[in-house]
Amino acid sequence: MTDATPQSTFRGLPLTPDQDTEIRHYIKKKEQHDAPWDTAELEAMLRDMLEPPGDDDGGLGSTVDETKAATERATASIDETMEPIEACEERNAAMETEGMRGPKR
């Protein structure tokens, strides 16, 4: 297999050899069916290949922050004079309640 360089790839784009092969295969299949190959579908494929995926809903950081906040709220409901087992059960119940409320927005 030859190395894919911007000079040898589809329209000079910085594609990996696998990506270039996938694009050329797509074009070949479209041409075999006498269909136009320069479509929105090809444009979307190229966009997916060239742009890194974005964070969905704030990414992992916001999920961790929400979990920490829920844990702190649940821990605040525990009385220091409780037995350890009772405190653990209360904390678990409070965490379940926080989980049912859903993320804070």
* 79 SS3 class: coil
pTM over 0.85: no
Q: How far is CA 86 from CA 37, 39, 43, 90, in A?
A: 66, 63, 59, 6
Q: What is the pLDDT of residues 25-65, one digit of tens each?
A: 988 998 999 988 888 888 888 888 888 666 555 555 666 77
Residue 42's pLDDT is what?
A: 86
What's the pLDDT at 60? 58
